[in-house]
Amino acid sequence: MSTGAVKLSPVAIDDNAACLQQDLHWLAQCIELRLHSYFQQQPLNLLQQAPPPELMAGQGSYATFVLQQQFSVSERLMLLLALAPHLQPQLLDSFFVRNDNLGRSFTEFGGCSSKQHRGFLPSAETAAFLLAGNDLAQRLQVMQLLQAEQRLQRDNILQLLHETGDEPFLSARLSLSAEYLQLFVTGTRQKPDYNSYFPAKLLTSALGWPDLVLPAAVMADIAHITGWIQHQHTVMQQWQLGRSIKPGYRALFYGPPGTGKTLTATLIGQQTGMDVYRIDLSALVSKYIGETEKNLAAVFEQAQARHWVLFFDEADALFGKRSQTSGSNDRYANQQVSYLLQRIEDFPGVVLLATNLKANIDEAFARRFQTMVYFPLPDVSERLRLWRHILGDAVMLAADVDLTYLAHEFELSGGAITNVVRYAAIAALLRGDKALAQADLLQGISRERRKEGMMV
């Protein structure tokens, strides 16, 4: 994970720690009262006997966040319950008490096991017991607060982690997301980065729109996408077109490699202030039935909560045409495609798909795209602009370099020209020359053409 955390001052750390300690002590009081009430069979008005401590914004990142969110007392206690294993795991040890009549732990206390953590890991059942006890009406209220559309899950603050899909709803482990754990500890939010559990990579670039050389018609299509992102609230809410228009925007970028599809997706995010995550399809697809859908669901849920743009590069690898069903593997592959189609269609954010081969994309997708943008190879004038822009002003060119000739004679994409310039720069430096020669550029072009299987 890439954190981007900043070092807090000792005073800020102390204030935040004092506030967290205060609230964790309150959680401990609530647990003690609930257990006493349960075993003594006595009624309990939890909030009357253990009112929540007062929070002030200046007390640190935890207090500021809780006040900004205007959490209910129940939501605040669930947040603390998920936070406790990270900060004071011993606080939950009381739930390890065994039922002597049955010789095992109490079902109503919930909890989950872990291979490494020796403490008690709370489940949603633990939250229901703490807040509701045996009161079924209050238990239903807890279940309502933990639904996917409610903010604790919708905003990816708390996660309900089920081992399998057929388990009781409240048996899921109650987990605080890494983003908010870091917020409460360091005062900053981390952005997830690629790892074995998160098959997506944050796209960034030092380039800007002036570095992207595309025809005017393509730029107009791209402007339509950014226009939707910037004005979707007006369209859907103020103009009330949400009655007939589904939320979200889906666009397909297609065309030869190196023509700017990935850079365009990155720049759309930069312009609109949204993070763009490229999905690693090879890591997303699992040989185990159901795992692909599980991995994809996790990415979509985080993307919706954090308002990401999702970018599927080489999309035909997973979103390709469905095959004829000749066996169980084919049937499962087709089920995957159908599931992905549905998730993309239901996603209320922006999904961009890129492919070099539009013909390989399943036809069912065509009906779901709001925009299909073709990225052509640059024409002569665009290639000349690319040569000049990529070389810039700091690169020395020998007297024999003729960029106009190169632009006219060799049909190359922007990505290919970048590779040629890289090769030529290294070649010049290896022979001790500070200037790129025409021969260096021509040799780089020859190598690039051979890579693409073209005649030199």
CATH 3.40.50.300 maps onto the chain at 200-374
Percentage of the chain lying above the pLDDT 70 cut: 87
- Say whether pTM exceeds 0.75: no
> Distance (Å, rounded) from C-alpha 39 to C-alpha 25?
21
Confidence check: pLDDT of 341 > 80: no
Domain 200-374 is of which CATH architecture? 3-Layer(aba) Sandwich (3.40)
What is the per-residue pLDDT across 286-315, written as a single tens digit (0 to 9) for each? 555 556 666 777 788 888 888 899 998 887
CA dist 205 → 74, 153, 212, 270 (Å): 42, 31, 12, 9
Burial 61-98 (b: 16+ CB within 10 A, else e): bbbbbbeeeebeebbbbbbbbbbbbeebeebbeebeee
Please report which confidence band the pLDDT of residue 442 belongs to, taking 50, 70 and 90 as the band edges.
Answer: very high
Please report which confidence band the pLDDT of residue 156 belongs to, taking 50, 70 and 90 as the band edges.
Answer: confident
CATH code at 380-451 = 1.10.8.60
Q: With contact defined as beta carbons under 8 Å apart, do 337 and 322 qualify? A: yes
**Both tokens assigned to 83:** 């936070």
Q: With contact defined as beta carbons under 8 Å apart, do 233 and 310 qualify? A: no
What is the per-residue pLDDT across 84-101, written as a single tens digit (0 to 9) for each? 999 999 999 999 998 888
> Distance (Å, rounded) from C-alpha 176 to C-alpha 296?
20
CATH 1.10.8.60 maps onto the chain at 380-451
Mean pLDDT of the chain: 88
Amino acid in position 428: A
Amino acid in position 309: V
What is the per-residue pLDDT across 237-292, written as a single tens digit (0 to 9) for each? 999 999 999 899 999 999 999 999 999 999 999 999 999 999 876 666 655 555 66
Confidence check: pLDDT of 403 > 90: yes
What is the per-residue pLDDT across 188-217, written as a single tens digit (0 to 9) for each? 877 776 655 577 889 999 999 999 999 999
What is the per-residue pLDDT across 56-78, written as a single tens digit (0 to 9) for each? 988 899 999 999 999 999 999 99
